[in-house]
Amino acid sequence: MDLYVSENGRSKDQSLLKERFNRAALTAAATIGALFVCAAAVEWIRSAYAPFRGFADYEWFPRLQTLLYLLGMFNILLIKYVVMRIYSAPGTADLGTIVRRLSHADSASMLISGLPGLYGLILFLFAGDLIDFYMLFGLSIIYCMIYLPRYKKWISVIKENLTD
């Protein structure tokens, strides 16, 4: 992996890897932070407008609720599909391409992992039910824990693809 060593002894490839990993980690932190900002907003709205009953006509809400719960559960399939498309994109199998794909895949995974929390916020604002928000918020947190960027995984993927 250390193909080029500069005057100060640091590898150019190593710095590229760390820079891209830090970007993916920043995306992960922003996604998780946004989820907790949504939770804080839900709690603030609930306490400021007590009793909060939502802003929507409840007549069509059950259909939207079902749709958003299904979308939240099927987000894992969307993540798998997006990651597969990123990894199977045409291009060379050099280190820069592999690192860029890892960065894009992890960033996309984290952003999609946060969607169920957004669905829960929408349901809370429409109906005012905390259960909807916290169920989908919890699902988002689980997805984020599963798809959190891991440096060791990146190293093993790079070694696997460069030795082929």
DSSP 85: H
Tokens 């500069």 correspond to what residue?
Answer: 6
The pLDDT tens digits for 14-64 are 888 999 999 999 999 999 999 999 999 999 999 998 888 888 777 778 888
Give the residue from 40, 36, 57 showing the smallest Cα distance to 48. 40
Residues 6+ apart with CB under 8 A from 47: none
Mean pLDDT of all residues belonging to the chain: 89
Q: How far apart are CA 73 and CA 121, in angstroms?
A: 16
**Cis ω on the peptide bond leading into residue 51 (within 30° of 0)?**
yes
pLDDT score, position 162: 81
Give the residue from 129, 104, 106 showing the smallest Cα distance to 119. 129
pTM: 0.85
List, in sequence order, every residue forming a beta bridge with 11; answer none if it has no partner. Answer: 5
pLDDT score, position 164: 59
